[in-house]
C-alpha cells in the first residue's frame, strides 16, 4: 500500500491548533491574522509531515505592497516633510503609501486601528506617539505587522522607533537666546494637555535651561486653550495660534525681548503679529521656531529654527519597515532574526536673521492699540 496522504487535520493535531486555523494560515486568508508563534508551529508541522506549504509570495500580495502611515494632521509642514521622506523610499522599493489622518481625534485613531486587521498592510508607520488609550492596540498590531513610531517610544519599549528627545530642541532654543543676552522671554505653544506629552517635554527643556542659568523667573509660557485640539485643524490653525498668543503677550508684558514658538508655523504667526504692531525683528524682539520647514528660509525675515532632520527620519522609518517586511517573509521559512531598531537624531540650531542680541529697556512704540479677542474666538 502507498503512503497515507497527509491532511490538514494531521497538521492541526501536530501543531495543537484547529483545522480551520491551519486552513486559514496555509491558504493566506486576507481577513484574519494570527500570532507569529502560531504561524510558525503550523508551518513547521506542515513541513515535517510533508504537507505542501504555499510560498509566502503570491500574486495577490504583489498587488498589495501597502504601507499605512498614521498622521495626526496634514496642516503642519512638519508632517508633510515626514511623508515626503517616507514616500521617497516606498516608491524606490515598489511600495504604495496610504495615509490615515487622525486629525488628533482619539475616536478616528481608534477606528483606523480597528480597520488594520482587515486592511492588513505590510507595515505601519506612526508619525507621532499613539494615544495612551490606543497603546495596547498598537502593541498588539506590532506583534503581527512591522510597525515603527517616529517620536519617543516612551512605554512602548519593544517597538521600533526613529526618536527625538523633545527636551533637546527646547534646550537648544533657550541656550541660543541666553547666549544673546535674553533674560525675559516667552514661549508660545499649542495646547499643553496630558495627551501632548512631547509638546510638554519641549517646553520643559526650554524652561529648565533658563532655570539652570538662574533666569527661570524670566520665562512666560503661553499656551492655546485646551479645546483647540478638539477642533478639526485648518491650514492656518497653528499660525493663528502664534499670532493671537503674541497679541495677548504684548498686552501683558512689555519687558520681554524674545518669543519662541513651539514650531515654525507658530513662529510665523508670532512674526506677523509683531510686524503688524511695528515692532522690529530682531531689533526689539527676537523670534525663533522649530522644525526647519522649507518656509523658514523663505520668509522676508528668515527664521532661526531647530533642524531635527525631519525628511531623513521619514526615510529611516520606511527603511526599517521594509527591512522588517523582508525579514518577516524570511521568518516564515524559519530564519528570521529578532531585532528592535532605535534611531535618534541630534537636533541642530539653524541661526538666521530673526534672532539677535537682547535690547535694553522696555518696548517703546507699537503695542496692541486695537482691541484683541480671546484665542478661542479666532477659530
130-154: per-residue pLDDT in tens? 777 888 888 888 888 899 999 866 6
132 shares its domain with 104 = yes
Question: Would 55 be classed as within a structural domain?
Answer: no
Would you give the DSSP letter of residue 300? Answer: S
Q: Is the peptide bond before 282 cis (omega within 30 degrees of 0)?
A: yes
Question: Would 2 be classed as within a structural domain?
Answer: no
Those residues with Cβ within 8 angstroms of residue 330's Cβ, 6 or more apart along the chain or in another chain: 336
Cα–Cα distance measured from residue 117 to residue 120, given in angstroms and rounded to the nearest whole number? 5
First-last CA distance in the chain: 82
Selected residue with higher pLDDT from 172 and 153: 172
β pairing state of 348-350 and 305-307: antiparallel
Q: What is the CATH number of the domain that holds 132?
A: 3.40.50.2300
pLDDT reported for residue 29:
52
Alpha-carbon Rg for the chain in angstroms: 26
Question: Would 365 be classed as within a structural domain?
Answer: yes
pLDDT reported for residue 245:
97
Contact call for residues 120 and 144 (beta carbons, < 8 A): no
Res. 365: pLDDT tops 70: no
Res. 280: pLDDT tops 60: yes
Question: Would 56 be classed as within a structural domain?
Answer: no
300 φ/ψ angles, rounded to the nearest 5 degrees:
-55, -40
Question: Would 59 be classed as within a structural domain?
Answer: no
Those residues with Cβ within 8 angstroms of residue 364's Cβ, 6 or more apart along the chain or in another chain: none
Those residues with Cβ within 8 angstroms of residue 64's Cβ, 6 or more apart along the chain or in another chain: 122
103 shares its domain with 17 = no
Q: Give how far the C-alpha of residue 174 lies from the chain's centroid of Cα atoms, to the nearest Å.
A: 23
Contact call for residues 230 and 238 (beta carbons, < 8 A): no
101 shares its domain with 234 = no
The residue among 71, 123, 116 whose CA lies nearest residue 321 is: 123
Q: What is the mean pLDDT of the chain?
A: 84
Domain that holds residue 314: 65-163+310-344
Res. 3: pLDDT tops 70: no
Cα–Cα distance measured from residue 246 to residue 55, given in angstroms and rounded to the nearest whole number? 61
- What domain count does the chain have? 3
Contact call for residues 125 and 317 (beta carbons, < 8 A): yes
Question: Would 58 be classed as within a structural domain?
Answer: no
200 shares its domain with 116 = no
Selected residue with higher pLDDT from 193 and 273: 273
The residue among 281, 282, 280, 306 whose CA lies nearest residue 293 is: 306
pLDDT band at 372 (very low <50, low <70, confident <90, very high): very low
Cα–Cα distance measured from residue 28 to residue 42, given in angstroms and rounded to the nearest whole number? 12
107 shares its domain with 144 = yes
Q: What pLDDT digit, counting tens, does each position of 103-136 carry?
A: 888 899 999 999 998 888 999 999 887 777 888 8
Question: Would 140 be classed as within a structural domain?
Answer: yes
86 shares its domain with 228 = no
pLDDT reported for residue 355:
98
pLDDT reported for residue 28:
62
137 shares its domain with 177 = no
Q: Give how far the C-alpha of residue 311 lies from the chain's centroid of Cα atoms, to the nearest Å.
A: 12
Cα–Cα distance measured from residue 343 to residue 352, given in angstroms and rounded to the nearest whole number? 28
Question: Would 1 be classed as within a structural domain?
Answer: no
Q: Residue 215 has which C-alpha cell?
A: 533666569
Q: What pLDDT digit, counting tens, does each position of 173-189 carry?
A: 999 999 999 999 999 99
Range among 46-50, 242-246, 342-346 with highest mean pLDDT value = 242-246
Mapped onto helix, strand or coil, the DSSP state of residue 291 is coil
246 shares its domain with 334 = no
Contact call for residues 249 and 189 (beta carbons, < 8 A): no
pLDDT reported for residue 52:
65
82 φ/ψ angles, rounded to the nearest 5 degrees:
-60, -45
Amino acid at each position: 500500500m502507498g503512503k497515507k496522504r497527509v491532511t490538514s487535520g494531521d497538521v492541526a493535531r501536530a501543531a495543537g491548533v484547529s483545522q480551520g486555523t491551519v486552513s486559514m494560515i496555509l491558504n493566506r486568508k486576507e481577513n484574519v491574522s494570527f500570532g507569529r508563534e502560531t504561524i510558525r508551529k503550523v508551518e513547521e508541522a506542515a513541513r515535517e509531515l510533508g504537507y505542501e506549504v504555499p510560498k509566502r509570495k503570491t500574486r495577490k500580495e504583489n498587488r498589495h505592497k501597502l504601507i499605512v502611515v498614521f498622521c495626526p494632521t496634514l496642516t503642519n509642514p512638519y508632517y508633510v516633510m515626514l511623508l515626503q521622506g517616507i514616500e521617497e523610499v516606498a516608491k524606490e522599493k515598489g511600495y504604495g503609501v496610504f495615509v490615515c489622518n487622525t486629525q488628533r481625534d482619539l475616536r478616528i485613531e481608534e477606528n483606523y486601528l480597528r480597520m488594520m486587521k482587515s486592511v492588513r498592510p505590510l507595515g505601519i508607520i506612526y508619525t507621532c506617539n499613539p494615544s495612551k488609550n490606543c497603546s495596547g492596540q498598537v502593541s498588539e498590531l506590532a506583534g503581527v505587522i512591522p510597525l515603527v513610531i517616529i517620536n519617543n517610544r516612551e512605554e512602548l519599549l519593544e517597538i521600533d522607533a526613529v526618536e527625538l528627545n523633545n527636551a533637546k530642541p527646547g534646550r537648544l532654543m533657550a541656550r541660543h537666546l541666553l547666549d544673546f543676552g535674553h533674560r525675559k522671554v516667552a514661549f508660545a505653544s499649542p495646547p499643553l494637555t496630558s495627551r501632548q506629552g512631547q509638546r510638554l517635554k519641549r517646553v520643559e527643556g526650554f524652561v529648565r535651561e533658563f532655570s539652570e542659568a538662574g533666569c527661570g523667573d524670566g520665562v512666560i509660557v503661553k499656551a492655546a486653550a485646551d479645546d483647540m485640539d478638539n477642533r478639526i485643524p485648518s491650514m492656518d490653525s497653528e499660525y493663528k495660534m502664534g499670532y493671537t498668543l503674541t497679541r495677548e503677550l504684548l498686552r501683558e508684558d512689555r519687558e520681554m525681548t524674545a518669543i519662541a514658538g513651539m514650531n515654525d508655523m507658530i513662529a510665523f504667526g508670532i512674526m506677523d503679529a509683531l510686524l503688524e504692531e511695528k515692532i522690529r525683528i530682531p531689533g526689539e524682539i527676537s523670534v525663533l521656531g522649530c522644525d526647519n520647514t522649507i518656509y523658514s528660509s523663505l520668509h522676508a525675515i528668515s527664521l532661526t529654527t531647530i533642524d531635527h532632520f525631519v525628511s531623513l527620519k521619514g526615510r529611516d522609518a520606511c527603511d526599517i519597515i521594509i527591512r522588517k517586511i523582508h525579514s518577516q517573509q524570511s521568518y516564515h521559512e524559519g530564519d528570521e532574526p529578532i531585532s528592535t531598531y532605535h534611531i535618534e537624531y541630534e537636533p541642530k540650531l539653524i541661526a538666521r536673521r530673526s534672532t539677535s542680541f537682547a535690547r535694553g529697556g522696555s518696548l517703546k512704540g507699537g503695542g496692541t492699540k486695537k482691541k484683541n479677542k480671546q484665542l478661542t474666538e479666532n477659530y
